[in-house]
């Protein structure tokens, strides 16, 4: 699953635009993931300039 | 907040503001919504804009101009610096704005012209009836409400979702999403009239690092690298921090911003039945500089003009809105975007050695009456070794 490190996230939207499933969204400048859409492909983790996103095995 | 408008604009950046301003002036009823609690903040931009571009829309005002830029310097990996003055550098010199004030001014103008403006209001879904976009469901201070409109203009920036909800794929390829971070640094020695661009695989692989003057002793210092170049141990922020340590170790960082910048080609189509897409959401960002303010304003104004015309003719179908798409593609902006995309694709193939060669070839050239083709010819004349490197580019630009 996708883990958002909120203490690192800069709420910039780079990850939102590269997500092929449209699973990410900025709501009130707060990054939100729609788990029903996220396929944990990890593309967003690469786009983040800060390293705030991580795909983990944890449920 | 009314429930029916001629035009609904989603997003209060320069593109959205120009769309709302233009539409309101043409007599349309307009609603502009912005999801953030305030217009213009947080800034997610290096704030540079060409002087000519800006003057097409409004007279420069010292209240929102942080620096008047007269020179651009391009620094190659080996330190060779190519200096371009105002006459030669085109849109790379101009003004460094204070977007916090500038964006508010634009929205204020839209509001003065009659547009209804709502902040902290986000679109949560489009209203689509029989395949036609008829507005949006919005969330306004915790309450949901339908706003119907004859034309909806998606101006929701790089993280655009609205067009996607309407069935248009707006995904940016990873290698064409620039991963950016910028510091506003004070108490540093800079040339207050210069915008400097640093190139090289050690500084910013396949991207560039910028130092944009923001006054006498402060600057926007930032970096953009392709998202695909980010590594866990070496991300955009690591490159920038290393540059800061080497060049401005005593600078005080008083602001820190992040952002994505799409340097892909524009969307294949920027209209649909009842829908128009403008600015960063339409991916009309300059692929070389990553600059998008001027293009957002241009597409915003054009979209509103075409929308107003379509509304008064009683036809807001895709076909009726299509002149917007056709017109911007055939405009100077559209042609520049296509040319600069090819130039960008060429430049990312150059390694440091070739970049140094190129910079040394350009050094000292008299740039009077410069064109891209003229510059390439001059480089090849001075450094025939570059012929092979530049052949692909000259062919692409023919």
DSSP reduced 3-state for B51? helix
B166 touching chain A per CB within 8 A:
no
Nearest residue of A to residue B140, measured between CA atoms: A28
Q: Which residues of B touch A12 (CB under 8 A)?
A: 44, 159, 180, 257-260
Beta carbons of B258 and A51 less than 8 angstroms apart: no
Higher pLDDT, B170 or B43: B170
Confirm whether pTM is higher than 0.90. Answer: yes
Cα separation, B169 vs B260, in Å, equals 17
Q: Would you state the pLDDT for residue A53?
A: 94
Q: What is the average per-residue pLDDT within B26-44? A: 89
Tokens found for residue B346: 């060429």
B15 annotated ligand binder: yes
Q: What is the average per-residue pLDDT within B95-106? A: 89
Cα separation, B32 vs B116, in Å, equals 6
pLDDT category at A58 given cuts 50, 70, 90 is low
pLDDT category at B398 given cuts 50, 70, 90 is low
Tell me the percentage of chain B whose pLDDT exceeds 90.
Answer: 66
Q: Would you state the pLDDT for residue B371?
A: 56
Cα separation, B282 vs B272, in Å, equals 12
B137 burial level (CB within 10 Å; 0-12, 13-18, 19+): middle
- Across the A:B interface, residue pairs with CB atoms under 8 Å apart total 101
Per-residue pLDDT at B181 exceeds 50 = yes
- The phi and psi torsions of A41 (rounded to 5 degrees) equal -75, -20
Per-residue pLDDT at B348 exceeds 90 = no
| Range with lowest mean pLDDT among A32-41, B103-112, B301-310, B344-353 | B344-353
Q: What is the average per-residue pLDDT within B322-334? A: 97
- Cβ atoms < 10 Å from Cβ of B148: 16
Q: Would you state the pLDDT for residue B89?
A: 54
Query: Which ipTM did the prediction report?
Result: 0.91
Higher pLDDT, A11 or B237: B237
Reported as type and span, the H/E element at residue B390 is helix B386-397
Q: Which residues of B touch A20 (CB under 8 A)?
A: 171
pLDDT category at B291 given cuts 50, 70, 90 is confident
* Residue with tokens 């911003």, as numbered in its chain: B257
Kindly determine whether residue B157 and residue A13, on different chains, have CB atoms separated by under 8 Å. yes
Tokens found for residue A35: 């788990």
Cross-strand partners of B75: B81, B198
Identify the structural domains of chain A with CATH numbers, from first to last. 2-55 (3.30.70.20)
Q: What is the average per-residue pLDDT within B80-105? A: 77
Per-residue pLDDT at B100 exceeds 80 = yes
B259 touching chain A per CB within 8 A:
yes
Q: Would you state the pLDDT for residue B246?
A: 96
Q: Would you state the pLDDT for residue B169?
A: 95
Q: Which residues of A touch B258 (CB under 8 A)?
A: 10-12, 14, 49-50
Q: What is the average per-residue pLDDT within B278-291? A: 93
Per-residue pLDDT at A6 exceeds 80 = yes
Tokens found for residue B66: 């942080």
Q: Would you state the pLDDT for residue B99?
A: 85
Among the partner-chain residues B44, B170, B177, the one whose CB lies closest to the CB of A47 is B177
A48 touching chain B per CB within 8 A:
yes
B173 touching chain A per CB within 8 A:
yes
A39 touching chain B per CB within 8 A:
no
A14 touching chain B per CB within 8 A:
yes
B269 annotated ligand binder: no
Q: Would you state the pLDDT for residue B369?
A: 46
Kindly determine whether residue A48 and residue B230, on different chains, have CB atoms separated by under 8 Å. yes
pLDDT category at B121 given cuts 50, 70, 90 is very high
Cα separation, B373 vs B14, in Å, equals 32
Beta carbons of B177 and B259 less than 8 angstroms apart: no
A41 touching chain B per CB within 8 A:
no
Kindly determine whether residue B227 and residue A16, on different chains, have CB atoms separated by under 8 Å. no
DSSP reduced 3-state for B323? helix
Per-residue pLDDT at B312 exceeds 90 = yes
For B95, residues 6+ apart whose C-beta sits below 8 A from its C-beta are B48, B49, B51, B54, B60, B65, B66, B67, B68, B69
Q: What is the average per-residue pLDDT within B151-160? A: 95
Q: What is the average per-residue pLDDT within B173-182? A: 94
pLDDT category at B42 given cuts 50, 70, 90 is confident
Q: Which residues of A touch B174 (CB under 8 A)?
A: 18, 43, 46-47
Cα angle vertex B381, ends B378, B385, to 5°?
115
- Cβ atoms < 10 Å from Cβ of B124: 15
B372 annotated ligand binder: yes
Instruction: Express each pLDDT in A10-54 by its tens digit.
Output: 888 899 999 999 999 988 668 999 999 999 999 999 999 999 999
Per-residue pLDDT at B310 exceeds 90 = yes
Q: What is the average per-residue pLDDT within B206-231? A: 93
How far does A59 lie from chain B, in Å, by closest CA? 23
Beta carbons of B306 and B277 less than 8 angstroms apart: no
Q: What is the average per-residue pLDDT within B35-51? A: 80
Q: What is the average per-residue pLDDT within B3-22? A: 97
């Amino acid at each position: 699953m996708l883990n958002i490190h909120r203490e690192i996230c800069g709420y910039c939207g780079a990850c939102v635009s590269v997500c092929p499933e449209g699973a990410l969204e900025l709501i009130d400048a707060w990054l939100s993931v729609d788990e029903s859409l996220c396929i944990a492909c990890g593309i967003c983790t690469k786009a983040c300039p800060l390293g705030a996103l991580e795909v983990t095995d944890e449920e | 907040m009314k429930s029916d408008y001629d035009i609904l604009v989603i997003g209060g950046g320069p593109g959205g503001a120009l769309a709302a301003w233009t539409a309101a002036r043409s007599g349309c009823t307009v609603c502009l919504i912005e999801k953030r609690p305030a217009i213009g903040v947080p800034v997610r931009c290096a704030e540079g804009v060409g002087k000519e571009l800006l003057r097409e829309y409004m007279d420069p005002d010292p209240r929102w101009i942080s620096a008047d830029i007269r020179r651009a310097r391009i620094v190659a990996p080996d330190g060779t610096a190519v200096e371009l003055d105002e006459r030669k550098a085109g849109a790379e010199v101009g003004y460094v704005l204070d977007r916090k004030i500038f964006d508010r001014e634009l929205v204020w103008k839209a509001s003065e012209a009659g547009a209804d403006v709502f902040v902290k209001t986000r679109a949560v879904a489009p209203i689509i009836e029989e395949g036609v976009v008829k507005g949006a469901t919005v969330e306004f201070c915790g309450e949901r409400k339908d706003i119907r409109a004859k034309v909806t203009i998606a101006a929701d920036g790089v993280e655009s979702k609205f067009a996607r909800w309407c069935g248009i794929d707006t995904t940016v390829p990873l290698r064409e999403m620039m991963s950016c971070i910028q510091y506003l640094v004070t108490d540093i020695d800079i040339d207050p009239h210069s915008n400097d661009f640093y190139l090289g695989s050690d500084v910013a692989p396949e991207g560039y690092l910028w130092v944009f003057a923001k006054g006498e002793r402060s600057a926007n210092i930032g970096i953009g690298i392709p998202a695909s170049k980010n590594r866990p141990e070496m991300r955009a922020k690591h490159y920038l921090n290393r540059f800061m340590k080497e060049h401005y170790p005593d600078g005080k960082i008083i602001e820190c911003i992040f952002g994505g910048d799409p340097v892909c080609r524009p969307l294949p189509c920027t209209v649909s039945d009842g829908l128009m897409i403008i600015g960063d959401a339409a991916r009309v960002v300059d692929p070389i500089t990553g600059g998008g303010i001027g293009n957002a304003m241009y597409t915003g104004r054009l979209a509103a003009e075409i929308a107003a015309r379509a509304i008064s003719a009683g036809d807001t179908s895709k076909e009726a809105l299509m002149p917007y798409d056709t017109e911007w593609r055939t405009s100077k902006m559209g042609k520049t975007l296509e040319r600069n995309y090819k130039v960008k694709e060429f430049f990312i193939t150059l390694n440091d050695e070739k970049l140094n060669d190129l910079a040394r070839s350009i050094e000292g050239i008299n740039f009077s009456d410069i064109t891209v083709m003229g510059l390439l010819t001059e480089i090849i004349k001075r450094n025939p070794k570059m012929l092979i490197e530049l052949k692909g580019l000259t062919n692409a630009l023919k």
